[in-house]
Structure formats: C-alpha cells, structure tokens
Amino acid sequence: MKYRVPDGEAMRSLGRELAGVFTAGDLVILSGGLGAGKTTLVQGIGAGLGVRGQVASPTFIISRVHEPTASGPALVHVDAYRLGSLVELDHLDLDASADEAVTVVEWGEGKAEALAEGHALITIDRPRGALAEGEDPAAGARTVTITTTGDAWNGRSWPLEGWTA
C-alpha cells in the first residue's frame, strides 16, 4: 500500500486512521530519514488509540509507554536510532508489554523484526533538497509505503480511502 501525504497534519490524520487497523500485540516498524515524519505519524497513531500523554520523540529516553484512556491498547513508542542491535533493543524488555500494546519502533528496520512473528513496516520517503528560507521542515509531501509480514496481518481491513498513491 502506498499513500501520498501532503503535510504534517495529513501525516497525523493518516496515523489516526492507521490506529483503527492496529490491535494489541502489533509491531509497527517505522523507517525514513531525519525529518521524514515518523514521530508525527506516531502522534496520530497515539491520538487514534486514545492514549494518555503527549506523544513526543523518545530519542533520549529510548522507550515510552502511553497508557490507554479507555479500553484500547497502550502505545509503546521506541526510538532505536541510538541502538546498535537487537540485543540492545531486547534489553528494553519490550516483550513484557507487547501483548497489551501496539509497539511502534522508529529506526527499527533491521533491529526490531524479531520482536514479533510479523510486523508492519511503514517507510516514509521525503523528497530531498534544500529548504527555502523560512520553509517549515515538516512541510512537503511524503510517500508512505506500508508492507506487512506474518499471519496476524492477513485479512486486515485497511480503511484508508481518500489517500492517493
């Protein structure tokens, strides 16, 4: 699945819609360069899941758990940028809450796949180039590509109409 996302607010909106597809136990791996919109997408996912607290980049604390405000799953938000391997990621003991949460790992490609039997890989491609003076780095269209592996993702309904590739 491939979607064109015009700006940061649309990225949050896509995240809110994706939250309706995710269930407790899901592993979502985000890939994309600096400023691609990974954390912005997770903010939308958190809003869609109805979790507590502000979703912000966990770069320095590595992992943050956002508890649900209602009966839905928690959100475990991980930034694996500074982690060198699955071993370091495993030390975070993410599997302790994996069954009750949607676990989203930024910079997790090549590191987090073993955390679950299957996962969704969301790749965000942002066009490169110099920003014009005063241009917001969060502005600009991105292409979001979603691929899934594992039986848990079979038969999911992706209600993402209105997004164009």
Q: What CATH number is associated with residue 60?
A: 3.40.50.300
Q: Tell me which of 81 and 7 has the higher pLDDT.
A: 7
Q: What is the residue range of 41's domain?
A: 2-128+137-151
Q: Is 32 domain-assigned? A: yes
Residue 80 predicted with pLDDT over 70:
yes
Cα dihedral 31/24/1/149 (nearest 10) = 80
- pTM summary value: 0.83
What are the DSSP calls for 68-101, one per residue?
BSSSS-EEEEEE-TT--SHHHHHTT-GGGTGGGE
- In a domain, residue 158? The reply is no
Per-range mean pLDDT, top range of 8-17, 64-73, 76-85, 126-135: 8-17
In a domain, 156, yes or no: no
Indicate the number of domains in the chain.
Answer: 1
Percent of the chain, pLDDT > 90? 38
What are the angstrom distances between the C-alpha of 81 and each of 41, 52, 87, 91, 155?
A: 17, 24, 14, 15, 32
- 91 — pLDDT class (breaks 50, 70, 90): very low
